Chains A and B, each alone.
Chain A
Amino acid sequence: MAKLIVLIAGVALIGFIIWWFFGNHAVDSEAASVEGNQQTVAVTVKGGYSPEVIELKRGVPATLNFTRLDSSSCLDHVVFPDFGVNQELPQNQTESIAIDTSKPGEYAWACGMDMFHGKLIVK
């Protein structure tokens, strides 16, 4: 009987894992606010990036301010392959990264080990 309960609980947990990690969940996204001739977005790095998807306006100089609160060494660099940026993110410090918004398109970014991802949309 105990084994049956364990079995049911285990299978239920497997179902939950599938739904939680593979299900279709809303992604934390944000559009940059333009002030003067400058757009800025603050990105918090904790168990991933919030926001994960950032929309920028084309042609307006943009700055992303990354603050890493997570102590995982996985997240200690942020890499923008399209811009040649590989920025170290010391914990609890805000690091600014200037983004070239002259060309519209989608630009992915990732952590130093390519395990966490985010995306910039310039339009």
Chain B
Amino acid sequence: MSITKRFWTALVLSVPMLINMVLMPLHIEVPGSKWIQFGLTTVIMIVAAGPFIQSAWASAKKHHSNMDTLVAIGTATAYIYSIYAMLTNQPVYFESAAFVITFVLLGQVFEERMRSNASGAVAKLVDLQAKDAEVLRGGKVVRVPLDQVVQGDLIRVRPGQKVAVDGEIVDGSSTIDESMVTGESMPVTKHAGDKVIGATINNTGTFTFRAEKVGSDTMLAQIVELVKKAQTSHAPIQKLTDKVADVFVPIVLIIALATFLVWYVALGATLAHALIFAVAVVVIACPCALGLATPTALMVGTGRSAKMGILIKNGEVLEEVNDVRTVVFDKTGTITAGKPVVTDIVGDNQVIRVAASLEASSEHPLAEAVMAKAKAMQIEAPVATDFAAISGKGVRATVEGQEAFVGSEKLLEDYLVSDALREKMAQLQDEAKTVVFVGLGGKVIGLIAIQDAPKATSKEAMAALHKRGLKTVMLTGDNERVARAIADQVGIDDVVAGVLPGAKAEHIQRLQQDGPVAFVGDGINDAPALTTADVGIAMGSGTDIAIESGGIILVKNDLRDVDRALSLSKQTFNRIKLNLFWAFIYNVLGIPVAAGVFAGIGLTLSPELAGLAMAFISLSVVTSSVLLNRARI
């Protein structure tokens, strides 16, 4: 029988006993009322309380205990004693057993409903998935179900349709609403060559795209996977409650027995009174609120942040965010747009020609800028051979029989440069430009200046973090001058420049001496730093390795989300603490009251009131978690 049905059964059968209780002070005695109560309560005990007793017995046999143990022992004690009292003509307490069962079930009915509300985020995400796609097969457009779309398929998307999977537009253009995946409310304009994300909605145009990621590889599928993991993860604070059931419940039983013994043996109370105190202790102590405090808040918090395009990987991250003192940013692709362009060339055409031949096979963002410039200037680069990377400094290769190199100013330790070039370099660096040296035949022949402008939102993001009282630091492989110029533009406190790719994690460790550090980055070389930092925040546009290493992922690539992510994590964690606090206080204060410690000042708790209080606190813990959805961030 379902919980709802059990609750209604218990409620309906309890009503006559409630009426009887109201009539009693008026001295209206229903004839045979004890027998009626016995009959009604027996049905309640079998139908509504039976499952509690079965479950309690099954777990007791395995040396385990849980909240069902408490409910079962409490109500069974009241019931069995009442049968004895009825037969020996003493006052009965059938209604206590009946009411406790009713209230506990009421609490569970609500709790079940709230729990399914709290876990709705994943289901909503899965629902975003397109159901089918119009695929080009054998020259014809056919509509196929989503699971039959394979990598490489050409898919046509008309206005109003959902993009089925992740891919790249090959033909046509349109504006696309990506809010459901990235949280970005403005539609994005896309042309041939741009990437599209599955589950986003096409607004105006018609386009065709090539499917690149299908099934469990799509961004949406991966987001769903991450959210699922986050929601089921354990926050370290929860370790406390992990032990609760197995330790707490037996202790409560012992306290209840002690309560009974003290009242009956030491204080000379009647058997009935002593029993009632013991039963109230057992009932009020149900630890279900403690068990619900963390998982429900975690579920709502991570679900809500996912909707905003902020993926929090687990409960541990939430807890660590609270202590963060410093936020460290990678420069390229994080603070800046990551799309550098060549702004100045010092030297003749040979400079860009040599640079292009060396950078042709590199995927470094600076290399892309050089290649784009060479293409624009219509310069054909010769093929370079014998590549050798000079770690963190540049590359060396053979071009047309001569040794050529491209790299940063660190190369100057190895090669000679004229004073005129040095001066030019300083001037360009002061303009926040990265200077690359190009050499041929053992001599520096010219400079290329490349600039990567900060994102429009970076400045605002820093201001928000400063307002939060956090220190901001920029970590970059670029030289001091360029880094400082960018830092001043966006308002970053500190700059650590000239960091070799392998040394980022080391610098994070140094910063950690002043307190926990969050690191924001996107590249493969950021992965060690993301792991080393107390909180790793990966940009969604970043490499898979970076995303794998981060604890928080910002799908939108907007640095302002760093502040939002911190705020949401803090709120969720605070809610967990609040929930645990109330659940504990309730148990800690409730038990002595129920045990009759304050009976001297007239403060006692009947078993049915204890049952009601227990249902109420479970419910308020779940409600408080669901309210996280409404909290301002």
Asked if residues B232 and A84 are in contact (CB atoms below 8 Å), the reply is yes
Asked if residues A73 and B108 are in contact (CB atoms below 8 Å), the reply is yes
User: Quick check: which of B257-265, B426-434, B531-539, B609-617 contacts chain A, the rest being far away?
Assistant: B257-265
Given the known A-B contacts A71-B54, A84-B232, A113-B292, are A20 and B63 also in contact in the complex, defined by CB atoms under 8 Å? yes
A13 adjacent to chain B (CB < 8 Å) = yes
Asked if residues A47 and B265 are in contact (CB atoms below 8 Å), the reply is no
A48 adjacent to chain B (CB < 8 Å) = yes
B345 adjacent to chain A (CB < 8 Å) = no
Identify whether the interface residues of A are mostly helix, strand, loop, or mixed: mixed
Chain B 1-60 interface residues, beta-carbon cutoff 8 Å to A: 1, 3, 51-52, 54-60
Asked if residues B65 and A21 are in contact (CB atoms below 8 Å), the reply is yes
User: Quick check: which of B240-248, B376-384, B468-476, B549-557 contacts chain A, the rest being far away?
Assistant: B240-248
Complex alpha-carbon distance, A85 and B119, angstroms: 13
- What's the nearest-Cβ distance from chain B to residue A23, in Å? 8
Complex alpha-carbon distance, A81 and B241, angstroms: 16
Asked if residues A114 and B265 are in contact (CB atoms below 8 Å), the reply is no
Asked if residues A114 and B238 are in contact (CB atoms below 8 Å), the reply is yes
Asked if residues B291 and A46 are in contact (CB atoms below 8 Å), the reply is no
Query: How many B residues touch A, CB cutoff 8 Å?
Result: 55
A112 adjacent to chain B (CB < 8 Å) = yes
Complex alpha-carbon distance, A63 and B51, angstroms: 29
B295 adjacent to chain A (CB < 8 Å) = yes
Q: Could you say which of B54, B238, B244, B261 contacts A10, with CB atoms under 8 Å apart?
A: B261
Complex alpha-carbon distance, A116 and B292, angstroms: 13
- What's the nearest-Cβ distance from chain A to residue B489, in Å? 41
Asked if residues B112 and A6 are in contact (CB atoms below 8 Å), the reply is no
Asked if residues B264 and A115 are in contact (CB atoms below 8 Å), the reply is no
Asked if residues A3 and B62 are in contact (CB atoms below 8 Å), the reply is no
A22 to chain B: closest residue by CB: B250
A10: chain B residues at CB < 8 Å are 257-258, 260-261, 265
Asked if residues A3 and B64 are in contact (CB atoms below 8 Å), the reply is no
Complex alpha-carbon distance, A11 and B265, angstroms: 12
A100 adjacent to chain B (CB < 8 Å) = no
B67 adjacent to chain A (CB < 8 Å) = yes
B292: chain A residues at CB < 8 Å are 113
Chain A residues close to B by CB (< 8 Å): 3, 6-7, 10-11, 13-14, 17-18, 20-23, 25, 28, 46-48, 50, 52, 70-75, 79-81, 83-86, 110, 112-117
8 A-B pairs with C-beta separation under 8 A: A46-B55, A48-B62, A74-B291, A86-B119, A110-B242, A112-B295, A113-B288, A115-B245
